[in-house]
Amino acid sequence: MTKELSPAAEAVLDAALPHMVHRYSVAAALRAAADQVVPLQLPPELDTQRPTVAWHAWDAEQRARFALLAIATELEAQ
């Protein structure tokens, strides 16, 4: 029984299939892209109790990283 892919994972796989690329290769490429484009980083230190612009930027970057990694994990699990 195969699980249905999310729209994002389906789009990535559809883009790779005409080139006969295996889904594990696509997942590896997504993981490499996440590491290169949005490396895992600790959050910036806060001087106050309120998040700063730097913290919001870090948060957005890390969410993008985790979205790429989630698609890679989904492709590997399929």
Give Rg (Cα) of the chain: 16
pLDDT along the chain (78 residues), means of 10: 78 78 87 93 86 92 96 90
40 neighbors 48 (Cβ within 8 angstroms) = no
pLDDT at 68: 94
Structural tokens at position 8: 């994002």
pLDDT at 47: 78
Specify the pTM.
0.77
DSSP 8-class letter at 54: H
Around Cβ 3, how many Cβ atoms within 10 Å?
Answer: 8
Distance, CA of 9 to CA of 4 (rounded, Å): 10
Distance, CA of 6 to CA of 75 (rounded, Å): 10
pLDDT at 2: 56
